[in-house]
A and B are shown apart, each in its own frame.
Chain A
């Protein structure tokens, strides 16, 4: 049979358990003898620890232990960086528990293990802590003065400056006929997952086996970290991925708790579970996005871009966490976006501050840098008197220029290129869908008390990070097939899409793929997880390799048993045939083969977004009347789930454009410590959004032709919304250089008539 599950809108198999309330998330686990961990966190942003007295807490009935840094032989282990682990970052890495200094509100100081969460929380109150306060470094402007240092050793609050270089920007600026220089800022966001983080660890002393549930995103890598920290061989640790209530880049990185809870379980020889509450989550899970840039663009008078130059500053929070440098490096490397900018010189400095440390959040660096760039492009087009669309069209990288070399990042000299695509085509489609030529006439017009505005922007989305992924296929006792894969599920539907890919590769019905097992370290020899929109690209390609190996092995074995040549063997639904005879697949139960895919190049999906907004100047409220995202993902595996990714990520982006902002005061106190303060989009905020997904230009760098596409909706949102609001309010000549566009900010723009 010839299948075409790939490309079909297959309803998800995961939904059957989720809709019935039968998902199994880490907090749903309750083994016998379970103890509960709660964590005492610093209420001081910057200070020296004088003493921690846990004696009163230990006397509370039901409290089993209170763990501090002193209980760790050899001191508190350090959490190493996973991505860009440069030597420059070493002095800034985070210990799993504070021992000499605290550097942000929320930093772990002690772990209480108790019979219940409530008793543990009672015990937190009984711990006596003395911290000698130090002046807080509450933002990068303060950090830059280097008067108060978070880390004495390096002697500066700057952990690194990345440089992105292409051509010779300085030379291009010297003779440029037109230059515009601007400053832009983005707010501080985070990849808030609906399920707070959680870890449950069990130590089997007899087997010498540590089992850690609640693993997500990169379980194999995290096992390597934990093994080293806790002094066990890797194969003595099993990381179990349960259902995961959202990832967005933030969940599943190695956090302090990923050591503290297994450590406690081993010390006490009892299962221990820790589930984060939302307030903790707001101050403990990776933050992201807060950046400021001073950037200038050089052009010919006809709008041909000559060069881009600038310096961005990223507020890193208190420590360099596992993937903390990614957003900053991406700002440097991707500020040019999908445009042909021959000369680029961008510096991005990473400043340590007394705030929750940063990590990746969906579209890391790209949301920020797309806002900076697209906003600047509209300002420049206005200056030069060129149509905004024509300006973009003129400078988009052309299909004939692919693969297109982009700026190189140092200090580690990372080169990259865009793999394929027709950027003009998605722009054209987007303009057509939104009805640009008609809507553009509304620009700045006041209709029924609302100013109308329209904007369009273009984006690229990197995906498919290597270096490798692993997959395995196995025949079950009943003759059905199980898929095992090193990619992780964070809610994106991998069980369904991998079943589609496997069924097509094996040319069997979809329901013959009985199980898709993912994530946990127990399934394949090595796995690399779910980040950088890599699961389909890397995992899917590994699955194709596994399917080839599996078919070859099955054919060889069947040929032996049926007495024919392997080339004559056919696999059909539930049987294997050859030489006029057949055997049920169940007769080969246990047959299994692994496959892998190695790739160091990245995929680049791309597209365009356009918005039509109406601004109520009296109250600063912005209504989105229409919003279209067009994205080409190379090859669509499941249009249903892909559209879900595009709209879902778009709404997160709109949250960042309008609502979300983690606010600190000058003492480094987090002022947005609940969901009543950190505002997320709701069902009534953005009801008119559309996603159009295409697969006209497959990626040439993987056998599926797929490109990562889980982040693009988000990437373009800030820039498009900012330009649409600015377009609507043009009669006020608005000073729009900062996100989020809260009602207050929008209202303020309308108070100064140009």
Chain B
């Protein structure tokens, strides 16, 4: 039985084994390889995607559970022309090195700032503490997210 949902604004219909996680479905069936799998047990956060507005670990979600949802991956938060303000801030602050955890950081930060554009440093650290990075030591990631807040504030 196919599973129908939306990925980055486009409807998809996939037929996969029942045990296929959303992460594997996105990567290997839909070939959206920007979502990375770092632990397959929900600790590292590299596979984070946005499902109906919430940051979700796609390694802990079965494809079937995505039925009827709207899924956004790092590819859906990117465009060809220029880096988004969040991406540009990551680059400016050198908030990435090997790039493996980066898609999960971007999706997590995007979900946070979309809901809470006024969040403070402690809140950013608290939310990002669910995403492991082995290269940067996090200082620059937190700075990058804080610096990108202005782009998410709605005009008064």
Contacts and interface: CB of A to CB of B under 8 A. Distances in A.
A160 interface: no
Interface string B65-104: 0000000011100100001000100111010111111110
Nearest to A195: B100
Interface in B2-26: 17, 19
Given A118-B19, A683-B129, 8 more contacts: A16-B91, A21-B32, A25-B100, A248-B134, A491-B97, A674-B39, A684-B128, A689-B139
Q: How extensive is the interface on chain A, given as a class?
A: 35 or more
A195 B36 contact: yes
A278 B96 contact: no
Interface string B16-49: 0101000000011001111111111101101000
Given A648-B136, A682-B138, A19 B102 contact: yes
B106 interface: yes
Contact of A246 (B91, B134, B138): B134
A19 B96 contact: yes
A675 B27 CA distance: 22
Interface stretch (A7-15, A98-106, A166-174): A7-15
B46 A194 contact: yes
Contacts of B133: 194, 683
Contact of B136 (A14, A27, A647, A687): A647
B131 interface: yes
Interface string A637-651: 000110110011111
A466 interface: no
B90 A676 contact: no
Q: Which 4 A-B pairs have the closest CB atoms?
A: A21-B34, A491-B98, A18-B99, A245-B100
B35 A196 contact: no
B119 interface: no
Contact of B132 (A12, A22, A682, A687): A682
A192 B36 contact: no
A80 interface: no
- State the majority secondary structure of interface residues on A: loop
Contacts of A21: 32-35, 73-75, 78, 103, 106
A686 interface: yes
A23 interface: yes
B139 A647 contact: yes
B43 A676 contact: yes
Interface string A681-695: 111111101000000
Contacts of A685: 129
Nearest to A248: B134
Contact of A194 (B17, B34, B90, B132): B132
B39 to A, nearest CB: 4
Contact of A644 (B41, B74, B101, B136): B136
B139 A492 contact: no
Nearest to A277: B40
Contacts of A686: 137-138
A493 interface: yes
Contacts of B100: 23, 25, 193-195, 245-246, 491
Contacts of B142: 683, 687
B151 interface: no
A194 B44 contact: yes
Contacts of A657: none
Interface string A479-498: 00000000000111100000
Contacts, number: 176
Interface string B108-122: 000000000000011
B147 to A, nearest CB: 14
B69 to A, nearest CB: 19
Given A18-B96, A21-B33, A245-B100, A684 B132 contact: no
Nearest to B145: A683
A244 B134 contact: no
Contacts of B125: 683-684, 687
B72 to A, nearest CB: 11
Nearest to A652: B134
A30 interface: yes
B55 interface: no
B102 A18 contact: yes
A651 B96 CA distance: 14
A389 interface: no
- State the majority secondary structure of interface residues on B: loop
Given A683-B142, A686-B137, A30 B98 contact: no
Nearest to A34: B28
B56 interface: no
Contacts of B50: none
A684 B129 contact: yes
A689 to B, nearest CB: 6
Nearest to A489: B98
Contacts of A22: 34, 75, 78
B141 interface: yes
Contacts of A684: 122, 125-126, 128-129
Interface in A18-48: 18-25, 27-28, 30
A280 to B, nearest CB: 11
A19 B83 contact: yes
Interface string A359-394: 000000000000000000000000000000000000
A562 interface: no
Interface centre among A12, A118, A194, by most chain B C-beta atoms within 10 angstroms, is: A194
Interface centre among B40, B94, B126, by most chain A C-beta atoms within 10 angstroms, is: B94
A27 B31 CA distance: 11
A643 B93 CA distance: 11
Interface centre among B94, B121, B132, B137, by most chain A C-beta atoms within 10 angstroms, is: B137
Contacts of A14: 99
Interface centre among B17, B32, B91, by most chain A C-beta atoms within 10 angstroms, is: B91
A461 interface: no
A277 to B, nearest CB: 6
A194 B38 contact: yes
B121 A687 contact: yes
Given A19-B87, A20-B74, A20-B78, A195 B41 contact: no
A193 B100 CA distance: 9
A14 B131 CA distance: 21
B141 to A, nearest CB: 7
Contacts of A27: 27, 33, 37
B41 A246 contact: no
Nearest to B100: A245
B83 A644 contact: no
Nearest to A243: B99
Given A21-B35, A196-B38, A30 B28 contact: yes
Contact of B131 (A23, A28, A491, A683): A683
B78 A19 contact: yes
B87 A490 contact: no
A683 B112 CA distance: 15
Nearest to B88: A19
Given A20-B87, A491-B99, A675 B141 contact: no
